[in-house]
Structure 1
C-alpha cells in the first residue's frame, strides 16, 4: 500500500484516478480548491484525506504537503492533474489569459513537484505522474496556448525522469486524447475574450464548433483511462510517456511519420553544417 497525492481531484481524471487508487488499496490524499466539493464516496473512505489546495498559491502547497506527510508519513506517488484549457487563435489570446493558464498548468505543477521532492528524496523512492495531453505532443489549431503549456509539462517530465533517477524517483507524462470528462465544460475550459472575425471558417475557430458537439460525447472512458494510469504507475518501471486513448495513439503515429519525413528531407544538409574538421 502506498500514499498517492492527487491535485485537482474533485472531478474528471483526478477523481477517477483517486477512485482507481482506492480500489487498488492505496491511501489517497485528494486535493481541490474546495474540498467540500469532493464526492461522498471519497469523503466516507477511511483511506482518503481531503485537503484544500489551489496550486497557484504557494502557501496552500506548503500547507497541503505538510499535512499529507504528517498524516500519512510520506508521499509515494504524486499525480499532477490540476489544469484547465484555453481556446482561441494565438492572435486572440491576451497576455493576461496566457499567463493565467501557465500559472496553473505549468508553474502550479512545478511548485507542487518542488514541494514534494524533498519528501521523496529523503525516502529514496517516489513516482511522479504528470497529466499532459495529446495536445502536448502535437500542436493543434485553436489551442496553441494550451498546447504550449502541455508541451512544457512533457519537457519537464522528460527532464525529471533523468534528473531524479539517482534518487530512485521516476517521472512519467500521461498524454490523454479526448475522454468523456468535464474538461470541455466552462468550469475547465475558457475561450479567449477577444474574437477576431477573420478567423471564422478557419481551423482556429473550427475548434470552437467542435467543442459544442463533442462535450460529453468523447471517445474515451475516464474510469477505464484512470484504471490504466493506476496499473502503469504500479509497475516497477514507468514509461517516459503514456499515450492514453485510441486517438492519442493514432495522432502520435501520424506525428512520428511527419517527424521522420522532416528529418529525411533535410538530414544531409543539416549534418553538413558541422565544421569540416569536426570529429
Structure 2
C-alpha cells in the first residue's frame, strides 16, 4: 500500500474511457482528487485522460465479480482507500420488448444492473472499514419514466433505483451515503451504434416499420442532446463535497421536468381509487 493519506479523496469511476465517464473522472482530477478510472481496457482510460500522478487506470469488466475485487484491491494498494464510488459503466439495448431477444435482455441486466452490484460489493468492505464513503450510481430519467423502445434499458435502470433506495438504509449506520444520479439527455456516446447502443436482434412484422423509424430517430438525436457532460461532472463533484450529499439528484432541466410530471401522475393515480384501495383490510382489523 503506497499512500494512506486521506487528504485527497479517492474516486473510483467505472466506464471512465468514454462519454460521461471521462468527464466525471476529469472533473474529479481537476478538483485535486485521486481517481481510479476503469474500463474494459485500461489503456483507453489513459488515452482519454492522459498521464496523471493522481490517476490509476485499471481494466475492469463490471460483469465479472472477480475482476471487480481485483480492481478495488489495486485502488487500495495505490491510494489506501476509496471515498467515492461512481457506478457509471453501462450500455443501451434498444428496441420494443418483443423484438429484444432473451439473451439481449439478460445482457442488458448483467451490465447495467448486476455490474454496479458487483463493483459495490467489492467496494463496501473498504468503506465499512473506513466508516465512511459515498456510493453514487448513474441511472437515467428512464429509471423513473418508462417509454417506447426502452423496455430492457428502463428495466435495468428501474432496478438500480430500488436497489439504491434499499442500500441507502443498509449502509447508513457505517457512515456511507448513497446518491442516485438521474440524467436526462446528455451529449455522450450512449446513442452511438456499436459503442453503447445495440439494436434488437429479432424482427416482427407488426413492429418493423416502427422499429426502422425509431432507430433512425435515435441515430438523428446523437450529438444533438442538450446536456453537457462536462458540466454534469463538475456539478457532481460539487455535490459530493457537501456535508450531506443528496440521496437523489436529477441532472438536467429535462430530468427535473420528467420527474415532476411522474410525481404528479403517481399522486393522481393514488387518489383515483383511494376509497377502494383503502377498503381492503380484514373486517376485524
Alignment of 1:39-54 (within 5 A): 39-40=46-47, 42-54=49-61
> TM-score, normalised on structure 2?
0.94
Once residues 39 and 181 of structure 1 are traced to their aligned partners in structure 2, the CA distance between those partners, rounded to angstroms, is 18
Partner residue of 1:4?
11
The answer to whether 1:163 aligns with 2:170 is: yes
The answer to whether 1:194 aligns with 2:205 is: no
Count residues with an aligned counterpart: 277
> TM-score, normalised on structure 1?
0.96
Once residues 97 and 201 of structure 1 are traced to their aligned partners in structure 2, the CA distance between those partners, rounded to angstroms, is 21
The answer to whether 1:126 aligns with 2:133 is: yes
**C-alpha deviation, 1:97, in angstroms:** 0.6
Once residues 21 and 163 of structure 2 are traced to their aligned partners in structure 1, the CA distance between those partners, rounded to angstroms, is 20
Once residues 117 and 258 of structure 1 are traced to their aligned partners in structure 2, the CA distance between those partners, rounded to angstroms, is 36
The answer to whether the 8 Å contact 2:82/2:126 transfers is yes
**C-alpha deviation, 1:39, in angstroms:** 4.7
36-45 vs 179-188, which moves further: 36-45
Once residues 29 and 64 of structure 1 are traced to their aligned partners in structure 2, the CA distance between those partners, rounded to angstroms, is 9
**C-alpha deviation, 1:241, in angstroms:** 1.2
Alignment of 1:1-279 (within 5 A): 1-40=8-47, 42-186=49-193, 187-200=195-208, 202=210, 207-278=214-285
Runs of 4+ residues deviating >4 angstroms: none
Closer, same or farther in 2 for the Cα pair 1:41/1:108, shift >3 Å?
Answer: closer
- In structure 2, runs of 5+ residues without a counterpart are 1-7
Once residues 36 and 50 of structure 2 are traced to their aligned partners in structure 1, the CA distance between those partners, rounded to angstroms, is 11
Give the match's secondary structure for 1:209: helix
